[in-house]
Structure 1
Amino acid sequence: MLTLLVFILILSVLVLVHELGHFISARKMGVRVEEFGFGIPPRLWGRKFGDTVYSINAFPFGGFVKVAGEDAGEVVDQTDPGAFFNKSPYKRLLILVSGVLMNVTLAISIFYVFFAVNNFKTSSLPLLYDYNFKYGQTLKNSTVIFGFEEGSVAKEAGVRPGESIYAVDGKRVFNVYDVRYQIKDKSGQQITLQLLDTRRLSASTRDVNVVPTADVSGNGYLGVALATSVVLDYGSSAFNRLTSGFQHALNILDYSTTTFSQLVGSSVAQKSVEPVSAGVSGPVGIFAIVGVILDYKGTDALLGILDFIAILSLSLAFVNILPLPALDGGRIAFVLYEIVTRRKPSQKFETSVHKWGMAFLIGLTVLITAKDVVNLF
């Protein structure tokens, strides 16, 4: 139950902050906001203050802002000064980008709180490929366990994903080659793995006794897949500490952009959306991650949730700014076209583009959710 409540709270905060950006900028630009709603309709309660109805809706996931004349398919009174479509393209551009800016601002603010508590170091970040972060000192850990083979003796002994092999029989190991060297002559013999949980902020270790099996060459074998994670340290100077929130946001955005580009490239090459759907998580995947974080209890859980909210907020900003139909980025693309050509696109054409875009996004979301459900079981 706690996991579900925290999950709903996280999604609601992220979406409401995003919509609040649109709401504030629309009001500032003189656009009439018809409704600011918490949750997804049907409406349970609503009250009108001025021109705006403030509502609470049945499904408590995020919220929405209904702006007069924003829907490209809506018949707009050309003399209505409060209609979104009648405002200058620059004002519409500011309104559209404000949601993304609010998500970025939320993420940076949370990063500063996190760094103040955690000595200006990040939590452990999985490194999916060879990538160099531009800011901060990178501390790599190349012995993180991210998977097991069927019948793995390490898994049977109680080793968990996300733990790092810190030492074997008291001897420090730094990479997969060190691990192989320490266990190659130990098949059938009990060894002690000193494990460090990379997902915890507190650097505590535990010992697990394992008896390696033998591979085809007769060498000791644990049946684990190792990966690399990194911790970024922004505490090397006063300037880095002062700008740590911005630096980390830039690091995460650049890493996300590069990763997404590679996933899209793979999808294009394979003529399939499978690489993209496999590389991202939907609501079910997010719910599962929240459950894992809450298992740590106390300060580790609280800071873990804060860090996760910040990462998700940046991810939401990144996805929304993509020039895809039905997203803010897609609507921004139409406004930029208008600014460059000094011609408004056809309302009918824009409506059609966004409808097809929404259908594609719904289909992709269903695919990602199905993948997450399969992974859970």
Structure 2
Amino acid sequence: MVLTTIIAAILILGILIFAHEFGHFIAAKKSGVRVEEFGFGFPPRIFSFKRGETVYSLNLIPVGGFVKIYGEERGEKESKSKFAFYNKPHWQRAIILCAGVLMNLLVAAIFLSIVHSIGIPTIIENKGESIARNIQIQIIDVAKNSPAEIAGIKIGDAIQKLSYKNESVQVSTIEQVQNFISLHIGEEIEMELKRAGEIITVRVTPRPNPPEGEGATGIAMAKTGLISYPWY
């Protein structure tokens, strides 16, 4: 889980950096400023080709990117070339400098629109069931040293089915879970859980005298589902 989070964070950061540099690149091109190099990733360089006066490169470290603009360095400030950054009007330079941030805002808006269209995991109230999908009873807390923690139940698990001997119930409400547990205090029951797309089964014994506020198994639950919103 930690590794997945790190990889996702690096990927998102890379996309934002690349979009930022792409914004500078497009603005410079449209303003008539020479772009010496536009690179995907960071050096060392693996492959490159030149189109016009710009070198397009693919680099070894595949995170983000960079743009090298002619006339941006101080040593080129006195250049008389009309293609130099510092020889452009102030308003054009401002557009080029701000284009990176504006591109980041555009990417963020597109990303949020896609996420909202796909659906956002949400705690569902009764009135929200009609617009939600993939509704499930999900564990949102596990008390320390509780039967649930000892059994290996984790936050985020979704309860699919409860069983005791020949008795079983397919779970669709929190009340079903609460009632089943209360009927089997001190008895080992099976919980079928969905975790990261996989179905697992654990055995847990509800305790008769739990600490205040914890419940017989030590879990807190919520009805969750995906709700989609308009892209705008």
> Scaled by the length of structure 1, what TM-score is found?
0.42
1:186 and 1:219 in contact (8 A); partners too: no
CA distance in 2, matches of 1:173, 1:105: 34
> Scaled by the length of structure 2, what TM-score is found?
0.62
Instruction: Give 1:111-122 correspondences, 5 Å limit.
Output: 111=114, 122=119
Give how far 1:69 is off.
5.6
CA distance in 2, matches of 1:53, 1:219: 63
Distance 1:61 1:92, change over 3 A: closer
1:183 and 1:220 in contact (8 A); partners too: no
CA distance in 2, matches of 1:91, 1:219: 58
1:35 matched to 2:37? The reply is: yes
Which one-letter code corresponds to 1:53 in the other structure?
Answer: V
CA distance in 1, matches of 2:54, 2:68: 9
Q: What's 1:95 paired with?
A: 99
- Give 4+ residue runs of structure 1 displaced > 6 Å after superposition: none
Which one-letter code corresponds to 2:67 in the other structure?
Answer: V
Structure holding more strand per residue: 2
Q: What's 2:18 paired with?
A: 16
CA distance in 2, matches of 1:187, 1:102: 53
Distance 1:86 1:47, change over 3 A: farther
Q: What's 1:316 paired with?
A: none
Which structure has the larger Rg?
2
Distance 1:64 1:93, change over 3 A: closer
Query: Match of 1:60, SS?
Result: strand
The runs of 5 or more residues in structure 2 that have no matched partner are 163-167
Distance 1:33 1:106, change over 3 A: farther
Give how far 1:36 is off.
1.2
CA distance in 2, matches of 1:76, 1:138: 59
Distance 1:183 1:219, change over 3 A: farther
Give how far 1:170 is off.
0.6
Which one-letter code corresponds to 2:203 in the other structure?
Answer: N
2:141 and 2:220 in contact (8 A); partners too: yes
Give how far 1:210 is off.
1.8
CA distance in 2, matches of 1:178, 1:77: 77
Which one-letter code corresponds to 2:190 in the other structure?
Answer: T
Q: What's 1:154 paired with?
A: 148
Instruction: Give 1:67-216 correspondences, 5 Å limit.
Output: 67-68=69-70, 76-77=77-78, 81-82=82-83, 83=85, 86-88=89-91, 91-92=95-96, 95-96=99-100, 97-102=102-107, 104-105=109-110, 111=114, 122=119, 125=121, 137-139=131-133, 141=135, 143-168=137-162, 169-170=168-169, 172-175=171-174, 179-197=177-195, 199-200=196-197, 207-213=201-207, 214-216=209-211
Number of equivalences: 216
Query: Match of 1:184, SS?
Result: helix
CA distance in 2, matches of 1:171, 1:45: 57
CA distance in 1, matches of 2:182, 2:213: 8
Query: Match of 2:21, SS?
Result: helix
CA distance in 2, matches of 1:170, 1:205: 16
Q: What's 1:54 paired with?
A: 56
Query: Match of 1:216, SS?
Result: coil
Which one-letter code corresponds to 1:165 in the other structure?
Answer: I
Instruction: Give 1:190-339 correspondences, 5 Å limit.
Output: 190-197=188-195, 199-200=196-197, 207-213=201-207, 214-216=209-211, 221-227=216-222, 229-233=224-228, 247-248=230-231, 250=232
Q: What's 1:312 paired with?
A: none
Query: Match of 2:32, SS?
Result: coil
Which one-letter code corresponds to 2:184 in the other structure?
Answer: K
1:115-145 Cα distance to aligned partner (Å, 9 max, x none): 9xxxx753x6256xx9xx9xx9345857322
**1:65 aligned to 64, 67, 76, which one?**
67
Percent of counterpart pairs with the same letter? 31
1:140 and 1:228 in contact (8 A); partners too: no
1:337-367 Cα distance to aligned partner (Å, 9 max, x none): xxxxxxxxxxxxxxxxxxxxxxxxxxxxxxx
Is the deviation greater in 30-39 or in 53-62?
53-62
Give how far 1:231 is off.
0.2
CA distance in 2, matches of 1:54, 1:228: 50
